[in-house]
Amino acid sequence: MPIPDFQTLMRPLLQLASDGREHSIKEVVSELASEFMLSEQERHELLPSGAQPIFTNRVAWSKAHLKMATLLDATKRGYFQITELGKKILAENPERIDLKVLRAVPGYLDAREGKKLDDSRLPLLNAEESLTPEEQIESAFAALRANLGREILEKLLKSSPSFFENTVVELVVAMGYGGSRKDAGQAIGQSGDEGIDGIIKEDRLGLDTIYLQAKRWIQTVGRPEIQKFAGALQGFRAKKGIFITTSDFSREAIDYASRIDSKIVLIDGEMLWNLMIDFEIGVTKTATYEIKRVDNDYFDEENK
């Protein structure tokens, strides 16, 4: 089943704590995962940043909102238990406990925002909201990145063949291949028209070489193009190649590349723009945002 959103988890979490005992977040994550019959894959599926499992993040935010509404109380680091108000809310037997319910709890909005605000100024408290703050940030980041990627491909498709060739060189050098920029630049375009667009060093010492093929295409690259490239590699007694395109590869092309002796890495348009962003080729930073959390070790010193 789909991973439940953090609001859907509120009532089950409060119900789990209704025994009055102290519970740890690690414990309730496991129990709620079992209650919702999540698969191992769903339990361990990570946020796009890879910083935390999605389900763990959602349980943590569910607990945080219940705590802000004083339905749960933190007893010690990593542990919590239900409050009298939490028991009262459960006793009313609501079918669902979510942000809409919590907004009616006195003090919740103040605790959520740190001060009193009108509902119209609380977009993150929309009763229909299903994403945690981290998920909202990462979703927005992914959208911005994808839009940047589309812009990069548009620029590459409108560029000259030599500019595209130089961009490929810049990228492989930034990734640690090709020796020096000068060495890589001299190698590109010097191998003739036998299905090879360039030759670069695998490392700075030139212990092995990698052959390049670059296609500034809109149409899908099919198996025949990969076969031609593989044949060219054999002609040079080469074992390694990189085929780069601004479009994509057919299923047959991908399957063929995976079954031949030569190691051919296929880089499609999406992978190309992702690599260009990661290695800062053709892009520039406009803003940096830091997300911080409380340093519990620091505050633990106060209790010693």
> Do 119 and 151 share a domain, yes or no?
no
pLDDT recorded at residue 197: 74
- For residue 136, what pLDDT band results from cuts at 50, 70 and 90? confident
Q: What is the average pLDDT score of the chain?
A: 85
In sequence order, the 6+-apart residues with CB closer than 8 A to the CB of 300 are 77
* pTM of the complete model: 0.70
Here the CATH number for the domain that contains residue 112 is 1.10.10
Question: Tokens in use for 246?
Answer: 């601004």
Question: Tokens in use for 186?
Answer: 């001299």
Among left, alpha and beta (phi > 0; psi -120 to 50; other), residue 144 is: alpha
- For residue 120, what pLDDT band results from cuts at 50, 70 and 90? very low
% of the chain exceeding 70 in pLDDT: 85
- Going by C-alpha positions, the residue among 295, 247, 239 that lies closest to residue 264 is 239
In sequence order, the 6+-apart residues with CB closer than 8 A to the CB of 156 are 164, 167, 216, 246, 272
Q: Kindly state whether residue 93 falls inside one of the protein's structural domains.
A: yes
- For residue 121, what pLDDT band results from cuts at 50, 70 and 90? very low
25 neighbors 55 (Cβ within 8 angstroms): no
> Do 164 and 255 share a domain, yes or no?
yes
Q: Give CA separation, 218 vs 75, 157, 221, 246, in Å.
A: 60, 8, 9, 7
Type of residue numbered 142:
A
More confident residue, 184 or 2: 2
**Number of domains observed in the structure of the chain:** 2
- Going by C-alpha positions, the residue among 77, 89, 68 that lies closest to residue 17 is 89
Question: In the 8-state DSSP scheme, what is residue 221?
Answer: B
> Do 19 and 80 share a domain, yes or no?
yes
Question: Tokens in use for 116?
Answer: 């009193």
Here the CATH number for the domain that contains residue 242 is 3.40.1350.10
Tell me how far apart the alpha carbons of residues 199 and 165 are, in angstroms, rounded to a whole number: 12
Residue 96 phi, psi dihedral angles, 5° rounding: -150, 140
